[in-house]
Amino acid sequence: MKFLINGEVKIISFQEANPNLSSLIAALGFNPKVIVVEFNGVILNQQRWEHQEVNDEDRLEIVTVVGGG
């Protein structure tokens, strides 16, 4: 499947027939505890990732949260 992630086209293959956002995040190697995801223009709460199917041409912006003082 082809996605636009942070402005870059990425092609990801999945084992499952109907992949969800959680499996896409895992395939990309992100730590889900420290990111915020905008999916097709909407910021999604992490609890929705398991239920959100992904499709060809979906657009994601993934931002890593950095702590500091």
Per-residue pLDDT for 69 more than 70?
A: no
What's the whole-number mean pLDDT along residues 23-37? 96
Pick the closest to residue 20 from 39, 4, 33, 34 (CA basis): 39
Report the Cα 68 to chain-centroid distance in Å: 25
Tell me which long-range contacts 10-18 makes (C-beta under 8 A, separation of at least 24).
Answer: 18/53
pTM to 2 decimals? 0.89
What H or E segment, with its residue span, contains residue 2? strand 2-5
Domain ranges of the chain: 2-64
What pLDDT, in 10s, does the model give residues 13-27? Answer: 998 889 999 999 999
Q: Is 67 exposed, middle or buried (0-12, 13-18, 19+ CB in 10 A)?
A: exposed
* CATH numeric code, 2-64: 3.10.20.30
